[in-house]
Chain A
Amino acid sequence: MTSTNRHPTQAGFLEVRDLTVSFPTATGRVDVVSHLDLDLEPGGALGIVGESGSGKSLTSLAIMGLLPDKATRSGTVRLDGEDLTAMPESRLRRVRGDRVAMIFQDPLSSLNPYYTVGAQIEEAYRSHRRGVTRRQAHRVAVEAMERVHIKDAAHRIDHYPHQFSGGMRQRVMIAMALTTEPELLIADEPTTALDVTVQAQILALLQEIRRDTGTALVLITHDLAVVSEITDHIVVMRAGECVERGPVESIFSDPKHPYTQALLDAVPRIDDEIGALRSLTTTGGRP
């Protein structure tokens, strides 16, 4: 589907062109992301959806230059016109965290259990802002925790990760990401491990941050209902390729690709019992 994979070139904020990621296997190199283009305007929200093995998470790591050593990457990743793939690691490190921040599915594994959450937020901030005093960093950390609605932040900042619930830990991760006021937030399955009521709160928080700060968002998820609620453009991935892209409304109300159609057919709906949920095996392609 080359026709849907190509997008009219526009001067975007994030512009990914022809991104290919491959891994060596016993039988040669295998492309896990192939010839992917992505476009995101400043302050926009892009959803990347796909099932397991679709390459959606590797796409985010490839954008950030965080792929494992044995992976090879080709193509360009431009942020505000600057090609991240051509940047020396030292500069790239400044871009990460400073202009682009990431949050992941499991906040517990991203937090060090031996340090208070405050110490970790402060360290993350100071590593990107040279010459900042401890006192300044502390104030920024408290403010960030208040911004993500952690009650009694000045007190909670001295607590350890295990003293927070899953949803609160994800708030801590978002607070950490916000300290440097990034222009782009990449969230990889940020609510997948959370209970549904907590998920609703975190999604509302992401919406609020976008509205208040104008931060652009790339949301990577398997959950079609979630992307439908908080993003404005969608890229549907399957086996490393984009099968369909478009504004959220047209993807959900008029999907063109059989895979997208079948995927939407398979989503269990809370307001309706589906006679026989359609399976996707009949659409061909890789398992």
Chain B
Amino acid sequence: MTATPLLQAEHLVKEFPVSGTGGLLSRGDTFRAVDDVSLTVAAGETLALVGESGSGKSTTARLVARLIDPTLGTVRFDGQDVTGLTGRDLHAFRSEVQVVFQDPFSSLNPRHTVERIVTAPLTYQGRKPPGGSRAFTQSLMERVGLDPQQWQRHPAQFSGGQAQRIGIARALAVGPRLVVCDEAVSALDVSVQAQIINLLRQLQAEEGFSYLFIAHDLAVVRQIATRVAVMSGGRIVEEGPRDRVFGDARHEYTRTLLAAVPRIRPEWEARRRARAAERAAAAPDPVPADATESVRRGA
């Protein structure tokens, strides 16, 4: 690949101080949560960062999104070193990179209306919502499958899936080129999760932005990733195209991880699908074939 990757992280290290066993004046120990991590995300692709708890995947995401500062290493965005950005430059970076978090309710201010929440990133940057705040909010809500008439509601008036759609709308408000999803679908019920995954895929197809998708659920990653990086103990132990990593894992840890995923027996699944296909052939689905309809109005 000769083109400059959209995001390029090189040799990232993040150490956290540990209040250890030493006394008051002892030299503090540090814990290395991220240990020499390098990764790239190309324009329009989805890099999934997978790993178990404590693997450093979320810390890596936070470093890349410049929510925390690395101890060592650099983050380049579009070829530019953004590691030390402050003030106005950091604001500009924030309109390129946005984050969607795991728990929509704790990441949305409960006292604010949808309008205030989704326009906040613009307000923070001193920008005016194009076309006026209300129309802008409504068009964003439309894009993520929410009822635009509900622009004045508060987060508590929405379900978990809808609240996550608000979080996605907020991320889209600034027109980012990279969206970091930190366990963005992990807290959702399986049916709602499917809708949000569909929405994320559809938005990417429409807008062409990239995802850095942090997840512990390998089955979810299988649905959305272009490439996969597997983290363990603060390091990336394996990285490659999705189907290669899932189909021909080279690192022992990746194989352990894949083997541990509970599975519905393939022969049961095959029989179920065959029957579903028979049913569909016998009686055409009364449900609109356009899958986007349910996504648009879902959750």
Beta-carbon contact of A252 and B265 below 8 Å: yes
Chain B 264-288 per-residue mask, 1 if CB under 8 angstroms from chain A, else 0: 1111110110011000000000011
- Which of B53, B190, B193, B198 lies in contact with A276, CB distance below 8 A? B198
Chain A 246-283 per-residue mask, 1 if CB under 8 angstroms from chain B, else 0: 00010011110000011111111111111011111110
Count of inter-chain pairs, beta carbons less than 8 A: 134
**In the complex with contacts A199-B262, A225-B263, A225-B264, A269-B269 CB distance below 8 A:** yes
Beta-carbon contact of B193 and A228 below 8 Å: no
B222 contact set on A, CB distance < 8 A: 268-273
Chain B 196-218 per-residue mask, 1 if CB under 8 angstroms from chain A, else 0: 01100000000000000000111
Beta-carbon contact of B262 and A252 below 8 Å: no
- Which of B190, B216, B299 lies in contact with A195, CB distance below 8 A? B216
A198 to chain B, nearest CB (A): 8
Among A52, A223, A276, A279, the most chain B Cβ lie within 10 Å of the Cβ of: A279
Question: Cα distance A279–B188 when bound, in Å?
Answer: 13
Closest B residue to A248 by CB, please name it: B268
Question: Cα distance A128–B77 when bound, in Å?
Answer: 63
Beta-carbon contact of A196 and B271 below 8 Å: no
Chain B interface, number of residues (Cβ within 8 angstroms): 45
Closest A residue to B264 by CB, please name it: A228
**In the complex with contacts A223-B262, A225-B262, A252-B218 CB distance below 8 A:** no
Question: Cα distance A274–B276 when bound, in Å?
Answer: 14
A19 lies within 8 A of chain B by Cβ: no
**In the complex with contacts A268-B223, A270-B222, A254-B264 CB distance below 8 A:** no
Among B260, B264, B295, B299, the most chain A Cβ lie within 10 Å of the Cβ of: B264
A38 to chain B, nearest CB (A): 22
Within 8 A of A (CB), among B231-258: 246, 256-258
Beta-carbon contact of B272 and A268 below 8 Å: no
**In the complex with contacts A225-B262, A252-B264, A253-B268, A270-B190 CB distance below 8 A:** no
Closest B residue to A283 by CB, please name it: B287
Beta-carbon contact of B275 and A52 below 8 Å: no
Beta-carbon contact of A228 and B218 below 8 Å: no
B18 contact set on A, CB distance < 8 A: none
Beta-carbon contact of B264 and A281 below 8 Å: no
Closest B residue to A252 by CB, please name it: B268
Beta-carbon contact of B189 and A279 below 8 Å: no
B265 contact set on A, CB distance < 8 A: 228, 252
B204 to chain A, nearest CB (A): 14
Question: Cα distance A166–B193 when bound, in Å?
Answer: 25
A252 contact set on B, CB distance < 8 A: 264-265, 268-269, 272
Question: Cα distance A165–B291 when bound, in Å?
Answer: 43
A160 to chain B, nearest CB (A): 15
Beta-carbon contact of B261 and A196 below 8 Å: yes
**In the complex with contacts A51-B189, A222-B190, A281-B299, A270-B263 CB distance below 8 A:** yes
Beta-carbon contact of A51 and B191 below 8 Å: yes
Interface, chain B (partner A; CB < 8 A): 52-53, 159, 189-191, 193-195, 197-198, 216-220, 222-223, 246, 256-269, 271-272, 275-276, 287-288, 291, 294-295, 297-299
**Subset of 15 A-B contacts with CB under 8 Å:** A195-B216, A196-B257, A196-B261, A197-B260, A222-B189, A249-B268, A268-B220, A270-B218, A270-B261, A270-B263, A271-B263, A274-B223, A279-B291, A280-B191, A281-B195
